[in-house]
Each structure stands twice: as structure tokens, then as C-alpha cells.
Amino acid sequence: MRVQSFTSALLIIAVSIISLNSCNRSAKKVKKKRDTVHKAWNKTIPGSFSEQTILVFDSGKVATFLTQYPELDAYKSDIRNFYTKRKYAYAWFEKNALIEQAGNLANRVMNIQQEGIYKAPPYQKKLDSLLYTVNSAKKQKPNPELELMLTAQYFVFAKMAWNGLSSAESKASSWYVPRKKISYDQYLDSLLSAKGRSADEPVYRQYDLLRGFLKKYTQLDTLEKWAPIVAAKTLKPGDSSAVIAKIKRRLFQLSDFKGDTTGALYDTTLQASVKQFQERHGLYISGQVNKATLTELNVTPKDRIRQILVNMERSRWLPVSVDKDYLAVNIPEFKLHVYHADSLLWSCNVVVGQTVHQTTVFYGEVKYIVFSPYWNVPPGILKNEILPGMRRNPNYLAAHNMELTGYEGKTPVIRQKPGASNSLGLVKFLFPNSYNIYLHDTPSKSLFGESSRAFSHGCIRVGEPARLAAFLLRDKPEWTPEKIDKAMHAGKEQYYTLKQKVPVFIAYFTAFVNRDGRLNFRKDIYKLDERLAATIMSGKGSY
């Protein structure tokens, strides 16, 4: 099949995008067109690739190609392995003509900024030129230079869009979750040998969801003036004001409001929209436009784009999927999510570390449940809080249900006894790690009602600890809810070792799409976004 020049295809897509923004179109027609464009744009590398074995090229062409294009030398082994397996049969040509997927790949490479990447792949213009030459010929014929360029660009695209910035960049961004490992040569080889089959891209599902919203916010940034909305007071249902029409218009632009955007009355429809907006931004859900809500409404699309880019990049670093039970804590969301494979079972509120005692972004495996735990006071808290308290009050340890168990050098070793007042609450969940972070209960239950919950010294306080214990022990029928409750209140420390360790991801996403398909934003409480955003948008990051 001949391939239409990808530059022409881009023109068609651009015209389609512009047409989506016509004010005279109905919402239903706009959505239909947007879906059509999205599907057209998302025609990617997976698909019906050539399985032909007759058309082959000389293996020496690979060395010649890499000499001619030295910036692709890093992919030498990938290219050689791929063609060795194919016995140097053309992958992008069939019956002397380019297959359709060649154009699809070229579109993605030439428009890699649509993937949230601001660094141009090497030899983009040469790829364009080679495609143009072949497509313009009266009679197509296999071109080994174009063949090798397409395969090399596949590996470039895979590394940049599916693997992301280097591990050095992720560590510099305080991300210590182990990076995923995928053999992209095998992935491409499987695609090329599976005619008629389609394959998902090897990226965590949030990546594609965020990519869709990146397009939306890019259009908003291009087409809309985001003038700040100013209100003299908190607005609530029943109020009438000219500024209310501006709020309706803004919420309409953000897909939270449907209806007449010209009315000045704060009606129940607007109230429901405001509640949805507040929920999406992790605000206290009041249904009133207060200062915090107005602040989020005034965040510009340009700033939201930076937030989306950062979290698309983080999505590249995670495993594509996990095929068993696992826990995920999203620090800026202040939530623990419990999964079975890719199915979300339930979620609950958590309290995470303060800005000065940040919870580390890392991966662990829950191995122990400790009922009625002791709390071994960490050195930092001992020095800054306990020892000063002991100097002020000789009865400090007894008053806080603590005891001295010995000394390390001249430093006392202190622990808090099990009980309702214990700082770890009635149960803790251990996943051995060098950061001394774990999940635990807490006696300070009121903090779970706050919209922002960064109060701890680094460990993660769980809002529903008994439920989490029941989940981890659900394959043990002897551990009934009654037995779990009794162990939590026994006043005597008891360890239980899980036979199957449960993965736990401590992650940091300030933009994500929930199960209802709504884009959520959260505050960058540890100020980790800006450095990564600057690295991405400068185009200078290493891949």
C-alpha cells in the first residue's frame, strides 16, 4: 500500500483540529470530530507489518548507514539484532511499496512534541526527505537507506517516548522507584511478526490518558486568553453577580460545566460543577467559589501543560502493569490505592511527610504486619523533641507511655509502649527499606479530614488500617475481622510475616486521570515538578 506523505497527513490533522474550535458547532458534533481526530492521530506503530521474506538487502548496508548517520550509533546493536532475526528482509516494504505503518511512525517521530517531548530526534529532516523521495517516485522500490532510517527512528522513538529521560534524570528528580525494563527490539520484532494484530504501547496507562489532555490544554493555551477572574467575596448558591458568568465560562472551558454560560445567577447547576472542579483539584468540596477555588481556576493552561508534561514523564518510568495485588500511595493526592492487577479495589486517605520531612518516592514490598506495635523513636525525633522534653519534665517518658531500653554510646534508646496513644497507632505495615518509611495507624484521626495532609515525619499514616490488614490477610480465613481487632488492641506486640510479599509504590503524581476519565491536579507539595518541567521543556535532558 502506498503511503500518503506524512506532511500532507499533518495538514489534514491540523485543519481538523482548527475545525473543532468553531463556536457554531454543537457539543455533540465537536466530540465526534475530536474522537475521530484522536483515533486518526493515534494510529501508531502497532499494526499489520510486513512479513515478507523475499525482499532483502545486504547486511553491509547497516555499517554504511551508521557511518553516514553517527548520532544513531547508540542503536547499533538494536538494529543489527533486529535484522539478524529477519535475515535482513525488509520490514517497511512489501511488494516494492512502503507499508502504511511507515507513515504512521513518521508522523509520531516528526511530531514528538505531542508526546510531551521537546527534544527533537536526530535526522528528522532526513527522514522527511527520504519519505518524500520514495513517495514521489512514479514507481516505488525498496530503499535500504529509508528502511534502516525507519527502524532506527523506531528505536529512537521507543527510547524517548516509552522509556523517557535517563535514570540519572529521574534520580535527580528524587524518584527512587526502580525504572521499568523493556526489550524494545523484541517488542518491534513481535509487532512485525504478528500480522493483523494490534499491540498496546509499553507505557503505564496514565501516559496515554494524560497525552489526550495535553492536546486539550495546548488548544486552550493557543485559542483562549486566560484573564484572571477576580471576586470580592466567596460566591455561593443564590448569589447574583457579573463575575458568575465568567466562572461559568471558565468551568465550561475546563469541561466541568454544561449549560448557559451567560447567566449571572449562582444556581444548582453551577454548584454541582464547582463541586466537581473542587474534587478534581483536591480542594475542600463546599460548592462555593472561595479563594482557594478561584486560585485554581486562574491557573493558566500554560502552567497546566507543564504539570501534564512532568507527569507524562513520570508515567514512562513506572511498570506498564502489575499482574498481582499491590498498593500505591500518591503523595500529592494524600491517598492509598489498593489494586488487584489493574483493578482498583478501594482507596483511603493518608497523611504523608511534611515539606521538611518528605516521604521518599520509592518502591518496596510489604512483608510484615505488626499488631500493637512499639514505636522505636528515631534519632531525629529523639534529638529534637524527646530529649528537650525530658530536660523540661523528669516525668516526660511516663507521661507519654515511653521507656528507656538502653544506650547507644551516650545517646539513650527510647521506645513508646503499645497502646491507644502510641504514635504508630494499633498496627503498622513494614516493607524493609533504607529510608525507614512504612505504613501505620495513628491516634490523630482528625488529620484525615483535612484537604491537605502533609503532617508526618516521613512515614505514611493510613486512614483505614484495619481494612488494609484485612486485605493483606484475606487469604487467611483464620484472620477474621474480630481477630484482627483483638490483635490491634492486645497491648502486646505481635508480628505476622506475609508468605507473599505485596508490592507498594510510593509515587508522586501532581496530574492524573481518575477512573471516571477526569483530569485531576494536585499541589506540588515537595516542589519536585519545576526542575523536571524545565529539563523537559529545554530539550536538553538526556535520554
- Would you please indicate which residues are annotated as catalytic (active-site) residues? 440, 459
Sorted by sequence, the CB contacts under 8 Å of residue 285 that are 6+ apart come out as 275, 278, 279
What is the C-alpha separation between 177 and 503, in angstroms, rounded?
A: 11
* C-alpha triplet 191, 116, 135: angle, nearest 5°: 50
Q: Calculate the dihedral angle through the C-alpha atoms of 234, 236, 238, 240, rounding to the nearest 10 degrees.
A: 40
Best CA proximity match to 94, nearest among 140, 47, 52, 136? 52
Decide the pairing of beta strands 454-456 and 93-94. unpaired
Tell me if 358 sits within 8 A of 378, measured CB to CB: no
Which amino acid does the sequence have at 249? R
Q: Which of helix, strand or coil describes residue 415?
A: strand
What is the C-alpha separation between 543 and 529, in angstroms, rounded?
A: 18
CB atoms within 10 A of CB 457: 18
| Segments of 382-459 assigned E as strands | 402-408, 411-416, 427-430, 439-440, 454-456
What is the C-alpha separation between 463 and 446, in angstroms, rounded?
A: 10
Tell me if 528 sits within 8 A of 173, measured CB to CB: yes
What is the C-alpha separation between 441 and 448, in angstroms, rounded?
A: 11
Report CA 415 to chain centroid distance, whole Å. Answer: 38
How much of the chain is in helix, strand and coil states, percent to nearest 5?
Answer: 45, 15, 40
Best CA proximity match to 264, nearest among 293, 234, 235? 235
Q: Which of helix, strand or coil describes residue 225?
A: coil
Tell me if 248 sits within 8 A of 257, measured CB to CB: yes
